[in-house]
Structure 1
Amino acid sequence: MQWNRSLPNGTKDKLFKEASYSHQLESLVNQHFALRGYHRVETPLIEFEEVFQGMDQKATSRYRFFDEQGQIVVLRPDMTLPIGRVMSTTGIIPPVQLFYSGKVFRVNKGHSGEYNEQLQAGMELIGYTSLKAETECLMNAVSVSQKSGLNDFQIELGHASIYQTIVSELQLTTTEKAHFKWLLQSKNMPSMALFLDAYQTHPLYSFILKLPRLFGDWSIFDEVMALTDHPNILKAIAEMKELIQRVQQVYPKQVLTVDIGLVPEMKYYTGITFKGYADRSSDAYFSGGRYDNLLTEFSVASIAAVGLVFYLDRMYAIFNRQESNRPLEIATLIHFENDCLQVAESLIAKEEKSRLSLQETLSETIQYAEQWAIPRVLIVSDTGVEELLLVEEEG
């Protein structure tokens, strides 16, 4: 019987360094949230498709199949909505602070650079209406980033209600909404002017016309307030200003930028949104925001919610580009004679980044160490422990 040795599109095997470091990152995030007093939740990899109607994602971008009863089920493309389902069906009484980790599956377009199988870890604050919830998310975002070794990163803030207010005020059709969304995402000012030609007498005209360039440091807030007095927009600006001030109490040097025309990634966002970008990386390695209408997706009364998710595969890619931050490799290989196992085992506890050689002879151990660029070999015999350096020390 012949079988296909290739993998499905958008998937890959993780080997050695990548597999090890992905596991380390997931463990680091989980431990961080556990120590901060969060409760862990785990949801099934397979869910009914209806759970994910709150996403803008098209059904064709999900892995869909039928269960034995003929119902459509999917590999989860998102972690937040399953937690919303948990809250609506299990009787958990909010407020509650939750954390999770696991894989999500999304069918990405070819050449997008994204794998269809992605490892995530994050947190959900359910039942908290205060801006303290957004502050808590960003405190965790900065802390986890620093613990993982990322220091050169910036946080970009947006506010879903600004986009939603504009769409509502202009009474855009579905087609117009899609075009407007593209104009904002592409920062296309000339095309925006053409799009707004029919709205020149609208009170928000001047504000929307400049929206593609209203991003940068938070001094941009002054320009926004000079362009519009719409109460929803001013409230959004006030919330973002307050959040920045709170974060800077603890992290005064943290770079925070704002994008007034940011389009919310998920349609369930209702308030402040945020993304984290590392130096020389175009993809956000964390994101999140407020989604107070989360439970209405499950025919339950709305409840306040704020979440944060880390994209661990993207974090690995960032580290892999930064040689100094790559995961630590084995530094010492311990070769032992058969009657010296006890001593060899004791050395593993003492020698950082070490492991036993399972080769039968010393020459095979040395050959293996050279093959895997292990710089040091300890030889354990009846006469003691001998050190063999395969790479000369500098200096």
Structure 2
Amino acid sequence: MKWNRSLPNGTKDKLFKEAMQSYHLESIVNHHFEHRGYQRIETPLIEFEEVFEGMDQKATSRYRFFDEQGRIVVLRPDMTLPVGRVVSTTGIIPPVQLFYSGKIFRVIKGHSGDYSEQLQAGMELIGYESLKAETECLINAVSISQKCGIADFQIELGHAAIVESIVVELGLSNEEQQVFAQILQSKNTPNLLAFLKKYETHKLYPFVSQLSRLFGDWEILAQARQLTNQPAILDAISEMEALIAQIHQVYPEQAITVDLGLVRELKYYSGMTFKGYTDQSAGSFFSGGRYDQLLTEFSVAPVPAVGLVFYLDKIYSIINRQTGWENPVETKTLIHFEEDCLQAAEALIASEAASRLSLHQNLEDSLQYAKQWQIPQVVHVQASGVKFYQVEDVTNE
């Protein structure tokens, strides 16, 4: 069987309107960061597989193949780790504020509805340990979301240090950590209490036993603070409270929720994490967080860093469900010209809005093309002058 008329699983062609709107979304994000003073960075689509060991994901989730020397390379499944590689190997001196856009590839199995090929755009703040970096990420998140056309959404905050502190304090084995993470992700209180049975006398029990319920409105942080005196957890709660206060200075009406039992999806997250959700989508349309240990993946001393990424394909789908896209600028005038009138035709296209040249040899073909693509007007440029045709009138003759 020939496969030259088919696409690999998880990929798709974008045509006309969808392709234009995806390009438009990418441009919005890029122009925003450029205007805000960020430096653009681009990394190769193909990287050595070792670059992505910090994702803590199975190799089967990557598109893997061999280069000419027999080394394993992959289509990049993530944008943050390649940026970390660049910073650690090129002599860039932090702090730096970077932005990027491009495609990533992850093997999607089952029927999730997601594509293996995904368009992303985002920012990386390398070398900033202050909470101002997280604030900058979320200010950008709200501003860009609004510019893209998503007005009604909520930000969910988590903190990697909370679950990590519990794992250390309880001394959980690797197997127990996996079970604990699954319980937290499912928010299953009976299973959580059963798992914690042997820890009922532990000083963290009052807090951990409530983890499956410690999510929702950000005001739940005050309740969580009363359940523990563990310093790392209290510090994490304080950071979340401070970040919320900062965001509400600029966007006082922005909906913000918290999840103290949030399990980090990527191994490199070390602090605050955040996601953006709307009612029109099951998954998040942006995400990010702090990853102060990222550069240690490349045998470099730790450098504080925070990042934010937008999933542009998901944003496109949300807007389609939410309000629909405005129609892209359509051609209103098709300019048919005789071969000795190209200069006049070019002058006309420069002055006539929403116009383009016809590349047909005969006027009849240009008129038929305009009818087919619903272009209302054809202008015929010839040495003797310019003649206008209304396609609807021509059709009725």
TM-score by length of 1: 0.91
- In the alignment, the residues of structure 1 paired with residue 61 and residue 226 of structure 2 have an alpha-carbon distance, to the nearest angstrom, of 42
Q: Name the residue aligned to 1:242.
A: 242
The equivalent of 1:224 in structure 2 is 224
Query: Is the aligned partner of 1:233 residue 2:224?
Result: no
Distance 2:310 2:62 in 1: 20
Structure-2 residue corresponding to 1:393: none
Q: Secondary structure at the match of 1:318?
A: helix
**In structure 2, how many angstroms separate the alpha carbons of the residues matched to 1:286 and 1:182?**
23
Q: What does residue range 351-366 of structure 1 map to in structure 2 within 5 Å?
A: 352-359=353-360, 364-365=365-366
Note if contact 1:149-1:325 (Cα within 8 Å) is conserved in structure 2.
no
- Is 2:336–2:360's contact at 8 Å kept on the other side of the alignment? no
* Residue 51 (structure 1) aligns with: 51
Q: How far off its partner does 1:211 sit?
A: 1.3
Shift of 1:54: 0.6
8 Å Cα contact 2:286-2:311 kept in structure 1? yes
> 1:63 maps to what in 2?
63
Contact conserved, 1:333 with 1:357, CA < 8 A, in 2? no
Q: Deviations over 1:250-281 (max 9, x none)?
A: 11222211111111121111111111123421
Secondary structure class of the residue paired with 1:280 = coil
Aligned to 2:395: none
Aligned residue for 1:158?
158
Q: Which residue of 1 aligns with 2:25?
A: 25
Q: CA deviation at 1:340?
A: 6.0
Please state how far the C-alpha of 1:310 moved relative to its aligned partner: 1.0
Question: Counterparts of 1:28 and 1:347 in 2: how far apart (Å)?
Answer: 30
Partner of 2:186: 186
**Compared CA separation, residues 371 and 213, structure 1 to 2 (3 A):** farther
Cα drift, residue 322 of structure 1: 3.6
| Shift, 1:25, TM fit | 1.7
Amino acid in structure 1 at the alignment position of 2:356 = R
Deviations 1:163-207 (A, max 9, x none): 111111222222221121111112112221222222211222222
Q: CA deviation at 1:319?
A: 2.2
- Corresponding letter in the other structure for 1:168: V
1:173 aligned partner, one-letter code: S
Compared CA separation, residues 347 and 169, structure 1 to 2 (3 A): farther
Does residue 258 (structure 1) correspond to residue 251 (structure 2)? The answer is no
Deviation, 1:333, is 3.5
Cα distance in 1 for partners of 2:290, 2:209 equals 26
RMSD of Structure 2 on Structure 1 (CA): 2.4
Residue identity matched to 2:173: T
Identity within the alignment, % = 64
Aligned-partner Cα distance in 2 for 1:298–1:321: 42
Matched residues in 1 for 2:287 and 2:121: separation?
A: 11
Residues 1:378 and 1:242: Cα distance change in structure 2 (over 3 Å): farther
Equivalent residue letter for 1:7 = L
**Runs of 5+ consecutive residues of structure 2 not aligned to the other structure:** 393-397
Q: Structure 1 332/62 Cα, relative in aligned 2: closer, same or farther at 3 Å?
A: same
Distance 1:331 1:152, change over 3 A: farther
Moved more, 87-96 or 378-387: 378-387
Partners of 2:111 and 2:372 in 1: CA distance: 34
Question: Partner letter of residue 101 of structure 1?
Answer: S
**For structure 1, which segment, 211-220 or 321-330, has the greater mean C-alpha deviation from structure 2 after superposition?**
321-330
* Secondary structure, aligned partner of 2:97: strand
1:113–1:39 distance in 2 versus 1, CA, 3 Å: same
1:53 alignment partner AA: E
- C-alpha distance in 1, partners of 2:387/2:188? 68
Q: Deviations over 1:208-236 (max 9, x none)?
A: 22212212221111110122221111111
Q: Which amino acid is the alignment partner of residue 315 of structure 1?
A: I
Q: Which runs of 5+ in 1 are unaligned?
A: 391-395
CA positional deviation for 1:162 = 0.8
